[in-house]
Amino acid sequence: MIAPPFIPIPPEGYGGIERVVALLVEGLAGRGHAITLFAAPGSKASGHVVIPLTSAALLGDPSSVHEEALHVTTAYLQADEFDVIHDHTWLGPMLGAQVSNRVPVVHTLHGPWTPLARRIYGLIHDRVRLVAISRTQRFDNPDLSYAGVVYNGIDPAEYPFREVKEPYLVFIGRVSPEKRPEVAIDISRRAGLPLVMMIKRSEPFEQEYWDQVVAPALGPDIEVLDQPPQDVKVDILGRARAMLFPIDWSEPFGIVMLESMACGTPVIARPLGAAPEVVLDKVTGALCSTSQEMVDAVTTIDSIRPIDCRSRVQRKFSAEAMVSSYERIYRRAATASQRRQEKATIAHVPRRASTLDPLGKGQHQPLPSASASSTDR
């Protein structure tokens, strides 16, 4: 299991990918699998943890590509020691494509379909088993070969359920034009409720967007928390009347929607990306195309039953469901790889010249015959 080199496993605050990796490692270890995790400094997990770097790479720093290269190269130099490699990094799959004839490589698509990403995955998709994190993500690039779609999962037990809500709204996310934090401020203000913002603005472009676009809209009705600890985030989520998710892009998933619903807090989101796959309109929240619709949804959100929000996460987006789905993909990948290697071994058996048997009857010694098999990704 290769995690990104930026944030420890498990993360203390921000780190959606890292939280998924942590749950996956612990879930697989609990089912008896031997796991080796390559992760950022400070990581702790069941199984064997390898930390290639002396200090974590800086997220968003262009020079960190060198640290990531060292991180993933360390892992792939040991590729032959593993039955399956599951890579969650950006650079790793490009190395994985070079070893996939020896060991199957599974790669989860955690990021968006940028033009560069489309070109890179177009080159390697027939060598690396790609896993989309939503049907929308897969649909947005249908020409690739996929091993499957696996929704991100969370452990509902880590999110205390709160039936009674307090009169405020919450926004969680990176400070960026795709997340539209300034729209969340506008919606909460028009709805007449204070807003708690739990944000990440550690990268230069995030701080710039904050200073130029978000900060001028702040007021006494807005509380800002920079990457609070998980327990603080969960407590604030659980007490909120609703979470605002006014995204302005096709977000591949959005794990904060699960976290909110697990606490019993409905989500008011724009129907972009995977949001319609996660939020059931008028059951676990509201899907709204305009800001005014989101304001209107705030006024009627009390009709959503908190228990319905949590039940949806337990049924469809649990860590157990995620682990089971990946386990099936690993087994298919390992079986297909073994069959391919067996066929390659048979194909390379050298043909011998005609040799007579010791009795001189002119009978050729039979060679093993290969049976036809499919290599289903």
Residue at which a domain ends, from 126, 149, 172: 149
Same domain for 215 and 309? Answer: yes
Instruction: Report the C-alpha gap between 51 and 39 in whole angstroms.
Output: 5
For the full predicted model, state whether its pTM sits above 0.85. yes
Q: Do residue 101 and residue 181 come from a single domain?
A: no
Residue 34 lies in domain: 16-149
The CATH number linked to 52 is 3.40.50
In a domain, 331, yes or no: no
Residue 215 lies in a domain: yes
Q: Are 82 and 192 in a shared domain?
A: no
For 362, other C-beta atoms within 10 Å of its C-beta total: 8
For 303, residues 6+ apart whose C-beta sits below 8 A from its C-beta are 282
Going residue by residue through the chain (377 aa), what tens digit of pLDDT does each one get?
Answer: 999 999 999 998 788 999 999 999 999 999 999 999 999 999 999 999 999 999 998 887 888 899 999 999 999 999 999 999 999 999 999 999 999 999 999 999 999 999 999 999 999 999 999 999 999 999 999 999 999 999 999 999 999 999 999 999 999 999 999 999 999 999 999 999 999 999 999 889 999 999 999 999 999 999 999 999 999 999 999 999 999 999 999 999 999 999 999 999 999 999 999 999 999 999 999 999 999 999 999 999 999 999 999 999 999 999 999 999 999 999 999 998 777 766 666 655 555 444 334 334 344 333 333 333 333 45
- Cα–Cα dist 133/131, whole Å: 7
Strands 242-245 and 169-174: parallel
- Does residue 69 sit in the same domain as residue 85? yes
Based on the domain organization, do 139 and 167 belong to the same domain?
no
